[in-house]
């Protein structure tokens, strides 16, 4: 775990951006996320970098008793708040860990939801590889931000030396990251409404691989 980064986010846990109730505009964006991705009752989700659990709480209600959500974060202060917020919810497990250190069950979830965390993964290739292994063959890998990439990257450049290199990759870099794992981007929106990427396994790639292996 990157100790410097976890200490940085510990100090941010009481900040408005991390803990305040969502604005009406943010709630509308979360509702759109749920509608667009098809997250529903019974869905199984992994949410890396859950922070204080504001999205976790909404996702938990959406998936209900039949669903399951694994939420984790590298900041103990964030996890403390998230655990209080989600107290006694049996369909959620909350962990203090980095994505790089968590052992995911293979092909076990319908969605990976990276909400405002993707730029902070130190090794994005590794993070995507580990997380995508946990996706079912028809699962979706979501990267979602309330703001667009230029806004996010600019904020990180100015915020602190700890996150100065935490950039959201370009569309092309993102495409290559997923392509390397047999996935393809089905939607990428980066505009004044924020950033939304959805990647799925590329069935053509899988068939080509099968043909190569099996003649």
How far the first Cα of the chain sits from its last, in Å, is 43
CA–CA separation, 158 and 114 (whole Å): 22
Stretch that binds ligand SAM, among 117-125, 129-137, 174-182, 197-205 (CB under 6 A): 117-125
Q: How far is the CB of 186 from ligand SAM (least distance, A)?
A: 22
Mention every residue, 6+ apart, whose C-beta is less than 8 A from residue 13: 19, 51, 52, 75, 77, 78, 80, 81
Q: How far is the CB of 205 from ligand SAM (least distance, A)?
A: 27
Q: How far is the CB of 139 from ligand SAM (least distance, A)?
A: 19
Q: Which is nearer to ligand SAM, 33 or 135 (CB)?
A: 33
Mention every residue, 6+ apart, whose C-beta is less than 8 A from residue 208: none
166 within 8 A of 137, measured Cβ to Cβ? no
For residue 69, state whether it binds ligand SAM (rule: CB under 6 A). Answer: no
Q: Which is nearer to ligand SAM, 116 or 132 (CB)?
A: 116
Helix (H) or strand (E) holding 199: strand 194-201
For residue 78, state whether it binds ligand SAM (rule: CB under 6 A). Answer: yes
The DSSP call for residue 174 is H
132 within 8 A of 68, measured Cβ to Cβ? no
Buried b / exposed e over 110-124, threshold 16 CB at 10 Å, is: bbbbbbbbbbbbeeb
Stretch that binds ligand SAM, among 66-74, 84-92, 169-177, 203-211 (CB under 6 A): 66-74
Q: How far is the CB of 105 from ligand SAM (least distance, A)?
A: 17
Enumerate residues 162-191 that contact ligand SAM by CB under 6 A: none
Q: Which is nearer to ligand SAM, 54 or 68 (CB)?
A: 54
Enumerate residues 125-164 that contact ligand SAM by CB under 6 A: none
Residue ranges that bind ligand SAM, judged by CB under 6 A: 5, 9, 18, 48-51, 54-55, 72-75, 78, 98-99, 115-117, 120-121
């Amino acid at each position: 775990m990157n100790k410097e980064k976890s200490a940085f986010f510990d100090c941010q846990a009481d900040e408005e951006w991390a803990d305040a109730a969502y604005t009406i505009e943010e709630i509308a964006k979360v509702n759109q996320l749920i509608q667009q991705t098809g997250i529903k009752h019974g869905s199984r989700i992994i949410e890396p970098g859950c922070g204080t659990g504001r999205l976790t709480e909404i996702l938990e209600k959406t998936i209900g008793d039949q669903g399951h959500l694994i939420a984790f974060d590298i900041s103990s202060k964030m996890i403390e708040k998230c655990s209080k917020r989600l107290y006694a919810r049996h369909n959620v497990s909350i962990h203090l860990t980095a994505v790089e250190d968590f052992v995911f069950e293979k092909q076990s979830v319908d969605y990976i939801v990276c909400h405002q965390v993707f730029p902070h993964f130190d090794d994005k290739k590794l993070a995507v590889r580990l997380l995508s292994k946990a996706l079912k063959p028809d699962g979706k890998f979501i990267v979602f931000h309330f703001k667009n990439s230029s806004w996010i990257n600019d904020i990180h450049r100015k915020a602190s030396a700890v996150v100065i290199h935490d950039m959201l990759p370009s569309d092309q870099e993102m495409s290559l990251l997923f392509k390397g794992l047999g996935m393809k981007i089905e939607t990428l929106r980066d505009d004044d409404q924020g950033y939304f990427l959805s990647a799925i396994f590329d069935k053509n790639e899988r068939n080509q691989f099968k043909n190569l292996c099996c003649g």
